Structure 1
């Protein structure tokens, strides 16, 4: 087997990582809900986060956007983000339980009348959100009430882990498409036919337009807004806000963002996410590389050398 093929299919390291992850997930799912959620939060906060470098990455991200923040406060937020990530992962691996808990969860927001009207009229709706709280909670709240909400997901680098991760995504509500040209076209057809879907926009994309996020430029794809404009879909930000008890959520559906220039629509979506982070920064996923400032600077130097401009 060539090295390229081995990398594509996953080697022993990926296989072993997946075996450990599967065992941990299965063990946690055997525990009572509150116990498992708190346990996974603790493991990510105290064990996995520090060992895997997630906590340090979160602290670096915090220093990038808020350089004057005291280190103790950065550490507190970074640990809270690790805790939330662990809780979210195990919550979303219990699809039946998530649907059951969200069917009676509080659902609020200025966008509710709009999406209910769109559903009654058979008009498409495109929900947009970020990795805040539990991003699947609002979708689960609607699915539990009889709605059909599709989505687009970014596949995991580990193909063994991705196999059950993708299956879990499908089990919540179909259709779910893998990120890429084919997946985007599939979601576009679904929305164009009057369907509803969810997209997360707060991930780094080298093809994206730099949009200030928490005061620093973050390449952001405008394709999410472009789909809404092309299909005439309502463009509705939603958030699954974790409550003080750590295990329940409020699903907030905000007022739709008016159609216009797709980049400006994404700027508004970014502002909506920033407002949520300002309320509780520990609920956002500081663990991922959202800005990649060194890579951005390198790309800008290449553009300048080629006289393309920024």
Structure 2
């Protein structure tokens, strides 16, 4: 398991990061003082009505929705954007509920053909790359699988705010299973983890400069093919999975779809895009519409 980074010393150059992190920490502490069933909707409300609009997330989500879903009315798109922010807030505090959330997910039985394939691969020492997007709460399935004894590793991307990043990494470590930073620091660790027959969770639904242009939701989008490349290089299974938030706002259906057949990285990644797009169409408010996903400028 990787060590959590230490926050830098305070200086005039990073005072903005320090103050914004102080606000975030205050919200986290306030929320964690509440019972779980009040905590999760409270932070969902804060993100939907306060932080999301202030940060410009609501506007960006609406712009993306107007571009990708022009078939919907403006009120429908606005409702999806609000649902997106609410889900993001719930996900955030769930991941900081390092005891309550994993305990709840321990009683969740994953569904779908990919679960049996995962069990068989783990029994035979075959590596598995579990792939999803910023949808529902992607950590829910990892927590459910770790509770069943799977050695599920995670990758994380360092946040721009170093003060926030220091405690954010600790939340990922608290779920169990090794976690690795993206980039050179983490590459050796997660490659070794895969070679030893471990499982790794990857999120693939953000714009990556220079990545191949594939279709996502009917629009060109640069999409990283690294998950498929890893599956091919180490003869591992590539399994799409989703943690679908249920109507009560607190529980999840954890679904592991059938493994993507091996072919070539772009064909396999397009299958992942199509799989995620189907989930986004079925549950549009659970995907993070805030990302600048569609920036597929021509090379």
Q: Would the TM-score normalized by the shorter structure come out above 0.5?
A: yes
Q: Is the 8 A contact 2:135 2:287 kept in 1?
A: yes
Matches within 5 A, 1:119-130: 119-130=122-133
- Whether 2:138 is the aligned partner of 1:111: answer no
Q: What CA distance in whole angstroms lies between the structure 2 residues aligned with 1:172 and 1:237?
A: 20
Matched, 1:264 2:267: yes
Aligned 8 A contact 1:9 1:159 in 2: no
State how 1:7-86 maps to structure 2 within 5 Å: 11-86=14-89
The answer to whether the Cα contact below 8 Å between 2:110 and 2:255 also exists between their aligned partners in 1 is: yes
* Cα 1:287–1:102 shift into 2, 3 Å: same
Please say if residues 146 and 177 of structure 2, whose CA atoms lie closer than 8 Å, have aligned partners that are also in contact. no
Q: Where in structure 2 are the equivalents of 1:220-235 lying within 5 Å?
A: 220-235=223-238
5+ unaligned residues in a row in structure 1: which ranges? 304-310
Tell me the alpha carbon deviations over residues 190-212 of structure 1, each in whole angstroms, 9 at most, x when there is no partner.
11111111000001110211111
TM-score of the superposition, structure 1-length normalised? Answer: 0.90
1:281 correspondence with 2:284: yes
Matches of 1:9 and 1:182 in 2, distance apart? 28
- SS, match of residue 287 in structure 1: coil
Measure, in 1, the Cα distance between the counterparts of 2:11 and 2:26: 23
1:143–1:75: structure 2 CA closer, same or farther, 3 Å change rule? same
How far apart are the structure 1 equivalents of 2:24 and 2:261?
42
Q: For residues 40-67 of structure 1, what are the alpha-carbon distances to aligned partners after superposition, in whole Å with 9 as ceiling and x for unaligned? A: 1111111111111111000011112122
Matched residue, 1:306 = none
| 1:67 partner SS | coil
Q: Give the conservation status (yes or no) of the 8 Å contact 1:10–1:158.
A: no
**SS of match in other structure, 2:202:** strand
Specify whether residues 216 and 9 from structure 1 end up closer, same or farther in structure 2 by C-alpha distance, changes over 3 A only.
farther
Match of 1:202 among 187, 200, 205: 205
Aligned to 1:131: 134
Partner residue in 2 for 1:152 = 155
Deviations 1:2-55 (A, max 9, x none): xxx999996000000111111110110110111011101111111111111111
Contact 1:10 1:159 in 2 (8 A): no
Whole-Å Cα distance in 2 between the matches of residues 161 and 210 of structure 1? 32
- Cα distance change, pair 69–6 in 1 and its aligned pair in 2 (3 A): farther
TM-score (norm 2): 0.94
4+ residue segments displaced more than 3 Å: 5-10
RMSD of equivalent CA atoms: 1.8
Cα shift readout 1:95-152 (whole Å, capped 9, x = no counterpart): 2211110111242001111111111112111100001101000000011112221011
Instruction: Give distance in 1, aligned partners of 2:185 and 2:46.
Output: 37
Q: Residue 24 and residue 265 in structure 1: after superposition, are their counterparts in 2 closer, same or farther (change >3 A)? A: same
Please identify, of 82-91 and 210-219, the stretch whose mean Cα deviation from structure 2 is larger: 210-219
**Distance across 2 between alignment mates of 1:277 and 1:70:** 17
Unaligned runs of 5+ in 2: 1-7
2:3 — aligned with what?
none
Matched residue count: 292
Inter-CA distance 78–207: structure 2 relative to 1 (3 Å threshold):
same
